[in-house]
Amino acid sequence: MSRPPAYLVLNDGTTFEGYAAGHLPESGVTSGEFVFNTALSGYQEIITDPSYAGQIISFTYPHIGNYGVTPLDEEALRPWCEGVVVRELTDVPSSWRSVGPLEGFLRQYGVPAIVGVDTRRLTRHLRSHGALAGAFGHGALELIARTARGARGTDGVDFVTTVSTRESYTCGNGDLHVVALDYGIKTTMVHELARRFRLTVVPASVSAGEVRALGPDGVFLSNGPGDPAALGAQVRVLEELLGTVPIFGICLGHQLLADALGGSTFKLPFGHHGSNHPVQDLLTHKIEITSQNHNYAVTPGSLKTANVSHVNLNDGVIEGIYDTRERCFSVQYHPEAGPGPHDARYLFDRFDSLLRTNSLEHR
């Protein structure tokens, strides 16, 4: 397939060459924050994860698109990432589940891509210098370099308002009612909750009073994109809800819960984006292999009352917290793991147990 030449430029001036693929914007350039993902499969789930809003995903695995795409693997109604970077993009996929090639999917949803890039070099650079903003495209190199210099990362930006549902909706028919605050909730997460509970998903802009008016047995805090420090309004809602209803948070929901409990967050150098991070449960001493996608984490020592329940065995990052008095707990990683391992799905059952017994005793 013939593709026009393209350039990728980071805002520190580092430049890569490749070819434009997917959607070709009229401006000839796309900007965002570059992050790398180390998963070997699940590219469609990764691309459609709302947590990537404002970011450009570089895949470390060299061959992407091998098994095509299917609506069954979509984690949102549309991709929210700014673009993707791939070494080799497969033109002819092979899978009985495939309904078409990945490039057609990218064009359908307006997602630009650059292929033929030395993603090993790009990954090494991001590991050494941290997540960097920049730009790529098929426009003139001078245009792309100028756009890269002006590109911004995710610090201080509220992406949640963009990706959250506009209207509440319900699903599931369990005997317990859970209200899920949608900060960018993944479809697999909704499915896991709806299998166990009667679920009402509400916009991130909801007030504590509106949540209480729904009469929930429990509240769930979803994953989502961007900097938790930019979401003061959401933290204040959680402060009002704490102690009135059991709460379970995942990813961004974990960070916001930590803030509501008096903690703070910080930005990791290049984040955790992959499907094989080892995490230890400090209470059971069991080790789980987890799927992760986050750039921010809870600051060690910042929690005033909550306890740490899980840690990342690669770098010691806090991966879970709990507060028995406030009847709440959260994890940084993704127990729904679509794609990825299913080691941590017991946490949804732990939430169910908390709602039924009002106890955070670990099973």
Active site residue 336: yes
Which pairing describes strands 328-331 and 318-323: parallel, antiparallel, or unpaired?
antiparallel
Task: With cut-offs at 50, 70 and 90, classify the pLDDT of residue 96.
Answer: very high
Span 310-331, mean pLDDT?
97
Encoded tokens for 71: 């609506």
Active site residue 129: no
Rounded to whole angstroms, the Cα distance separating 45 from 188 reads 10
Give every CB contact of residue 191 below 8 A, 6+ residues apart in sequence.
Answer: 336
Of 74, 82, 319, 336, the active-site residue reads 336
Span 187-191, mean pLDDT?
96
Burial 287-326 (b: 16+ CB within 10 A, else e): ebbbbbbbbbbbeeebbeebebbbbbeeeebbbbbbbeeb
Span 8-26, mean pLDDT?
98
Span 287-294, mean pLDDT?
95
DSSP for 198-217, written as a single string:
EEEEEETT--HHHHHHT--S
**What does the pLDDT read at residue 202?**
98
Instruction: End-to-end CA distance of the chain: give it in Å, rounded.
Output: 54
pLDDT at 322 over 50: yes
Task: With cut-offs at 50, 70 and 90, classify the pLDDT of residue 359.
Answer: low
Q: What mean pLDDT, rounded, does the chain reach? A: 96
pLDDT per position as a tens digit, 137-158: 999 999 999 999 999 999 999 9
pLDDT per position as a tens digit, 29-49: 999 999 999 999 999 999 999
State which amino acid sits at residue 70.
T
Establish whether the linkage from the previous residue to 339 is cis, with ω within 30° of 0: yes
**What does the pLDDT read at residue 256?**
98
pLDDT at 362 over 60: no
pLDDT at 2 over 90: no
pLDDT per position as a tens digit, 65-95: 999 999 999 999 999 999 999 999 999 999 9
Owner of token pair 């379970």: 248
**What does the pLDDT read at residue 363?**
42
Span 256-280, mean pLDDT?
96
Rounded to whole angstroms, the Cα distance separating 191 from 114 reads 33
Of 74, 81, 192, 251, the active-site residue reads 251
Rounded to whole angstroms, the Cα distance separating 115 from 88 reads 6
Q: Would you list the domain boundaries of the chain?
A: 5-150, 160-357
Between the alpha carbon of residue 210 and those of residues 189, 201, 206, 240, the distances in Å are: 22, 12, 6, 12
Active site residue 251: yes
pLDDT at 112 over 90: yes
Span 259-269, mean pLDDT?
97
- What would the CATH number be for the domain defined by 160-357? 3.40.50.880
**What does the pLDDT read at residue 338?**
75
pLDDT at 361 over 60: no
Query: Would you say 134 and 114 are in contact if contact means Cβ atoms under 8 Å apart?
Result: no
- What would the CATH number be for the domain defined by 5-150? 3.50.30.20
Count of CA atoms in the C-beta half-sphere (13 A) of 171:
14
Span 256-261, mean pLDDT?
98
